[in-house]
């Protein structure tokens, strides 16, 4: 391919930013033209990240660089509030916006304000943005101008439940919603971002395991929003995240009470059929148990199912929070916008050990 798509990254010094650089620098159809960091403007990327030496020959630039307006796609790997402040100007120059943060995830601007403590500055763009994963919103993504990529926890939960909830919506009486769906989720430390925080240093996290955000997590409203869309009704839901003493990985264990009809359904066959054509979603054989190292460094998500007493379905899901849960999935979505095969530049195998 002679003419490559021009890509910019806003916020390149965090973990999702460096992951975008790692993956995009290997993408055969992409030219990275600019990567921004207000704090580190002028610093060579390879000085901050020697792993990219010889692969990314750029300096960090200011977020107001005109190069962003010359891009085909701009990724936002920034705190919430940044993408929505810049999106309108980029759209004027026919730049497609792919936001890895929260600005275009929650459709209700009042719920957004409740959880993120700020007004949404472009609710009209919020309305048109497509939120989700390639597997759940592929057709809507094809012609979108703005993508609000689902977060890492939401992706594991939403894709873990999508076949079941779609069946419930289409046939009814599959899930017993008199009992909330419970998502008991664990994430590696990198999910908290690259920042100075005593609670995240090695001496605090190593040889330790803890719950956090017990009173509510910001991912919860986007999870419920999409689960309810999948099910065709409001889904009662309990979400509890935990911090693992590892760098990467998400392991979500999801408990769903089924009706008798749902429990008698061959759910293994349902999931296998639902994801048969999905390159990055692997439904493991009956009886298998996924592990985070099965996906570390890759864009794959693996699912296993187990029926338990009391009409309970246990859904086990693993993904790399920085790849399928963030940067890799965003590139997968960019491939859709660019009319490329979705796995372009993303076929790397998980790292073991």
Cα-based torsion angle of the residue sequence 334, 132, 209, 181 in order, rounded to the nearest 10 degrees: -160
Candidates 42, 45, 43; CA nearest to 17 is 45
**C-alpha angle with apex 229: 228 to 232, nearest 5 degrees?**
80
Strands 30-36 and 5-10: parallel
Residues present in the chain in total? 353
Alpha helical stretches, state H, the chain: 15-24, 45-48, 82-92, 109-116, 123-128, 134-141, 152-171, 202-205, 219-231, 260-264, 267-274, 328-337
Whether 80 and 103 have beta carbons less than 8 Å apart is answered as yes
DSSP track, 177-234: TTS-EEEEEEE-GGGG-S---GGGSHHHHTT--EE--TT--THHHHHHHHHHHHHTSP
Provide the sign of the torsion angle of the four alpha carbons 94, 17, 19, 197, taken in this order. Answer: negative
C-alpha distance across the termini of the chain, in Å: 35
Contacts 24+ apart (CB under 8 A), 169-172: 169/230, 169/231, 169/232, 169/233
* Cα dihedral across residues 194, 196, 201, 205: positive or negative: negative
Rounded CA-CA distance 89/294 in Å is: 41
Residue 152 a catalytic site member: yes
Question: Smallest Cα–Cα separation from 332: which of 322, 323, 321, 343?
Answer: 343
Phi and psi at 153, nearest 5°, equal -60, -50
DSSP state of 252: E
- Angstrom CA distances, 136 to 129, 195, 253, stand at 14, 32, 20
- Given the residues 122, 152, 185, 202, select the one marked as catalytic: 152
The residues assigned a catalytic role are: 152
């Amino acid at each position: 391919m002679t003419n490559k798509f021009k890509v910019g990254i806003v916020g390149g010094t965090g973990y999702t930013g460096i992951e975008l650089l790692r993956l995009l620098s290997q993408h055969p159809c992409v030219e990275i033209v600019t990567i921004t960091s207000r704090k580190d403007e002028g610093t060579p990327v390879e000085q901050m990240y020697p792993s990219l030496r010889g692969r990314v020959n750029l300096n960090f630039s200011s977020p107001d660089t005109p190069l962003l307006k010359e891009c085909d796609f701009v990724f936002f790997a920034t705190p919430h509030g940044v993408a929505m402040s810049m999106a309108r100007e980029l759209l004027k120059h026919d730049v497609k916006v792919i936001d890895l943060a929260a600005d275009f995830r929650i459709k209700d601007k009042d719920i957004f304000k409740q959880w993120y403590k700020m007004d949404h500055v472009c609710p009209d763009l919020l309305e048109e943005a497509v939120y989700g994963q390639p597997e759940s919103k592929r057709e809507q993504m094809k012609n979108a101008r703005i993508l609000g990529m689902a977060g890492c926890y939401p992706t594991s939960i939403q894709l873990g439940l999508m076949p079941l909830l779609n069946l419930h919506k289409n046939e009814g009486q599959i899930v017993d919603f008199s009992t909330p769906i419970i998502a008991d989720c664990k994430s590696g430390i990198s999910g908290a971002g690259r920042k100075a925080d005593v609670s995240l240093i090695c001496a605090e996290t190593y040889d330790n395991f803890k719950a956090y955000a017990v009173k509510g997590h910001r991912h919860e409203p986007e999870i419920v929003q999409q689960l309810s869309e999948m099910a065709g009704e409001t889904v009662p839901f309990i979400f509890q995240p935990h911090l693992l003493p590892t760098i990467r990985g998400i392991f979500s264990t999801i408990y769903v009470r089924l009706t008798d009809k749902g429990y008698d359904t061959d759910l293994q066959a349902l999931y296998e059929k639902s994801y048969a054509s999905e390159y990055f979603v692997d439904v493991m054989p009956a009886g298998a148990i996924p592990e985070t190292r099965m996906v570390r460094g890759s864009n794959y998500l693996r699912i296993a199912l187990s029926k338990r007493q009391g009409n309970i379905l246990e859904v086990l899901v693993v993904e790399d929070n920085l790849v399928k849960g963030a940067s890799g999935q965003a590139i997968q979505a960019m491939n859709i916008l660019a009319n490329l095969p979705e796995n372009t530049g993303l076929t790397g195998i998980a790292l073991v050990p």
